[in-house]
Structure 1
């Protein structure tokens, strides 16, 4: 492979902000919820690289084939791999958990999933085209060349992301596109070059709160018997009287880790007396992804946890749900001694209005 920009390349990153910026010269894009992916194509040679430069090529043979068919002969693109599936309402929605299934050691399973749940690729930046590197050019120029190079794309599986310079339209996208599984909005400085591994962009993500039950904890990797430290809190929500595992809260200072593990000791109980006691007997991952069970993502890791009587309620901040769990680690906000644990159910969670991903990928709203 001999391109103006060759792998490995770390992608440009974004820092979080609380709102869509109203000044400063930005272009806005939907924030995709998939695998960040840099595409390197030099004729019949195609490499897909992850955010941390690890190879993704073998996991997505159908995307490699689409790149050879749809993208320019010599090109380097920044974008996102995704899987979309049809919803009960008839539209399409991003499915991150289905996408995760593609990272599998068996070629036979990869090939099966490539046909059953094929992935797509959405491009949102250009690093090189032909014999020219555009990495040092301002985003306005990179985008203009990218639009011309990918103008022929129609219907996937390779797409060009939507873009606007109107903050009001970006705010509308932030509200509406979550219903299709998107993660928020990205703001890119119009005059900035492509800066690998630098947080040049801004990201605006959804933030919500929920009251959850603390059902257990795992110890931190640096914990010792003399100085125990809490690593993560295991969180639950009730569904028809059954406590479901909904995610974890894990970002604490060392001082707070020591305080929390001491504070929770009076609640430690035997696993046999815990709502999740029976689940410890399961040998593989299960639909509820309960703690202590193995999956291909966790082989060799210590997944044991200390069960706690589910008597304490915690308010956490989270961005959005993936199925019945928090998509990312929830942030500890405050204890809620005024809440009854059994009152903490899924009905408190905000449900985004359904939105068809196909309308976003096709730019359909602009033509209605």
Structure 2
């Protein structure tokens, strides 16, 4: 987030200007952060669930919409917040070469409001951080970040470690996408049974060239029909991505590694791409249900953010 007086630019990691999608956040930044600064942080959309506030990643994704009328409507219905992680500049003073402890102190001074703009909690107690990893998941967070107290901010480099949950699940292979090269399997679409109905929950990708060819040899014979290809939902973050996929008979069970589920009810799914581990020929596909998955205890997002 770059602010120079009334001029504010909010960029994604890839450098995409996100300001037009979040007009209400630009207004909030003008009143709740210092007049001239550069901050590293994240845009989030909270929602109420059973009396507690948690992050809603679906609502956030829906905010990336091309129509101006839709942008204005969503700005009212699902207003966004900014959560600051780090301070990169304070007026004319660059903070990149300052230690983390100094940058965090500056961050607390540069984020002056608390209704729409917040900063994360921080600690140097590893036991407390471990508790946060467990409890904060109930508010929609997917992990904690570890940084060196004396470390500098290095643009384009990962001067940090993100600690996430590590879990396993047995899921049903329901289809695949051809790799962008046109050869082999690029990703496997995965599902779980819910009251007898098979629900798509995500996908596994990032296979080697040899693995892509092997997976094609294993999955292509399971195609439901040679000419059947289904369209997937377009990505708001990567409009060029080809989401078409080929459905297969749900005969195979895969063991995968995942970190977190997102959503509720039949719409639950893996928040991130999962890691394919192995096939489970000993497992009945219909035994792969949502019941095997961890359900974190509810936690309120307001307890995650530092009091302002």
Do the aligned partners of residues 199 and 362 (structure 1) sit closer, same or farther apart at CA in structure 2, a change above 3 Å counting? Answer: closer
Structure 2 alignment gaps of length 5 or more: none
SS at match of 1:292: coil
**Residue in 1 that maps onto 2:77:** 116
Shift in Å at residue 113 of structure 1?
0.6
**Aligned residue among 114, 118, 134 for 2:95:** 134
1:343 and 2:304 are equivalent in the alignment: no
Shift in Å at residue 362 of structure 1?
4.7
1:292 and 2:253 are equivalent in the alignment: no
1:42 and 2:4 are equivalent in the alignment: yes
SS at match of 1:310: coil
1:130-169 to 2 correspondences below 5 Å = 130-150=91-111, 152-154=112-114, 156-169=115-128
Do the aligned partners of residues 198 and 260 (structure 1) sit closer, same or farther apart at CA in structure 2, a change above 3 Å counting? Answer: same
SS at match of 1:178: helix
Rounded Cα–Cα distance in structure 2 between residues aligned with 1:238 and 1:306: 19
1:311 and 2:251 are equivalent in the alignment: yes
SS at match of 2:281: coil
SS at match of 1:189: coil
Shift in Å at residue 57 of structure 1?
0.9
Shift in Å at residue 295 of structure 1?
3.9
1:360 and 2:304 are equivalent in the alignment: yes
**Aligned residue among 234, 237, 257 for 2:189:** 234
Structure 1 alignment gaps of length 5 or more: 1-38, 281-290
Asked if the contact 1:179/1:354 (under 8 Å) is kept, the reply is: yes
1:15-94 to 2 correspondences below 5 Å = 39-88=1-50, 90-94=51-55
Shift in Å at residue 292 of structure 1?
1.9
Rounded Cα–Cα distance in structure 2 between residues aligned with 1:264 and 1:145: 54
1:247-326 to 2 correspondences below 5 Å = 247-270=202-225, 292-295=231-234, 297=236, 302-323=242-263, 324-326=268-270
Asked if the contact 1:153/1:160 (under 8 Å) is kept, the reply is: no
Instruction: Give the length in aligned residue pairs.
Output: 303
What's the TM-score, normalizing by structure 1? 0.78
What's the TM-score, normalizing by structure 2? 0.93
**Residue in 2 that maps onto 1:30:** none
Do the aligned partners of residues 265 and 160 (structure 1) sit closer, same or farther apart at CA in structure 2, a change above 3 Å counting? Answer: closer
**Aligned Cα root-mean-square deviation (Å):** 1.9
**Residue in 2 that maps onto 1:286:** none
Rounded Cα–Cα distance in structure 1 between residues aligned with 2:133 and 2:235: 34
